[in-house]
Homo-oligomer: A and B are copies of this chain.
Amino acid sequence: MLSLSAVLEPIHEDLVKVEDSLKSIREVHVNHLSELLDYSLGSSGKRIRPALTLLSGKLYNYNLDCLLPMATAVELLHSATLVQDDAIDKSAVRRGRPTVNDVWGEEKAVLIGDYMFAKAGELCASTGNLRVIKLFSQTLATISIGELDQAFNAFNLEQTREHYLDRVAKKTASLFMLATESGAILSQASERSVEVLREYGYNLGIAFQIVDDILDFTGTEEELGKPVGSDLAQGTLTLPAMLLLERYPEDNPIRRFFRNRGDMDNKNRVIDMIRNSTIVQECYDFAANYCTRACQNLNLLPEKASRQALMNLADYIVMRKK
């Protein structure tokens, strides 16, 4: 299996520059601020979203002067949503270490998230491209709607697959779309190519989230960097859980766990049942299907190393273990 760093080889050097750019954001001379930013941005994220911006741009008139701030903005926006999600979910662990809210409290986590939104907006504005700037704000609005939908439907058993996919499109795929679309726009791609890359981002984003939701049940705590079954604990009904509910509509440990939220026996029973059923494979098939859709029009784009990287990334996303 391809490693992520092998997949991203065509933009390796520029991803290092994104890392440098994230570092320079942390160098602020305000009490506590750089410490909070260091912690929020320093952990070992996969940087898939900025990679998408760079890979998309690499197909056309690649200009790092605007692609670099945009790629950094996309990663910052992503990190900001993670920090705030953990705060509002009161999650204690992410990527194998205490969350910002666990160390500094929820209040500061929300505020550092706001600061990161603002800095992301500033970086995006520095591209000088109004279309991309509008897209950025619209994406933050869409993500918030997706997260609100998730919050309003916590512990709600009456949700359909369509509902799940709509939510995933908003809370996850929208940012993947921003990443690819902005890369294409900033590199003067044709409208048709922008459209192809937007669709790629959409489908890849959905696939990515489905795999995330599978791993939340099948991964180990070490791989996940957080407890297994976190979504379920938050009352979030993801695809694997939905399929289990469809199979056993009446007597189902999810139903019992949602009724009695402290009952770890039922939570573990859900994890166990999903792991030992064909649901996992069914969900992977779903994700693989979205990856196929993601790639189906890539042949319309210039035949470059970064196009192959986008193909490989789709494979990686389904194969990944964390």
Counted per complex, copies of this chain come to 2
Instruction: Give residues 129-150 of A contacting B (CB, 8 Å).
Output: 130, 133-134, 136-141, 143-145, 147-149
B residues less than 8 Å from A128 (CB atoms): 130
Whether A122 sits at the interface, judged by CB under 8 Å, is yes
Cβ contact within 8 Å between B117 and A114:
yes
Task: Judge whether A322 is part of the interface by a CB distance below 8 angstroms.
Answer: no
CB distance from A210 to the nearest CB of B (A): 23
A94-116 interface (Cβ within 8 A of B): 105-108, 110-112, 114-115
Asked whether A141 and B118 contact (CB < 8 A) given A33-B148, A148-B108, A148-B111, the answer is: yes
Please tell me the number of chain A residues within 8 Å of chain B, measured between CB atoms. Answer: 44
Contacts of A117 on B, CB cut-off 8 Å? 114, 117, 140
Q: Are B33 and A111 in contact (CB under 8 A)?
A: no
- A133 partner, pick from B105, B125, B141, beta carbons under 8 A: B125
Q: A121-B121, A130-B125, A152-B31 are in contact. Are A84 and B114 (CB under 8 A)?
A: yes
Indicate if A126 sits at the interface (CB-CB under 8 A). Answer: yes
Q: Cβ of B122 and Cβ of A126 under 8 Å apart?
A: no
> Is residue A30 within 8 Å, beta carbon to beta carbon, of the partner chain?
yes
| Chain A residues within CB distance 8 Å of chain B | 30-33, 36, 84, 87-89, 105-108, 110-112, 114-115, 117-119, 121-122, 124-126, 128, 130, 133-134, 136-141, 143-145, 147-149, 151-152
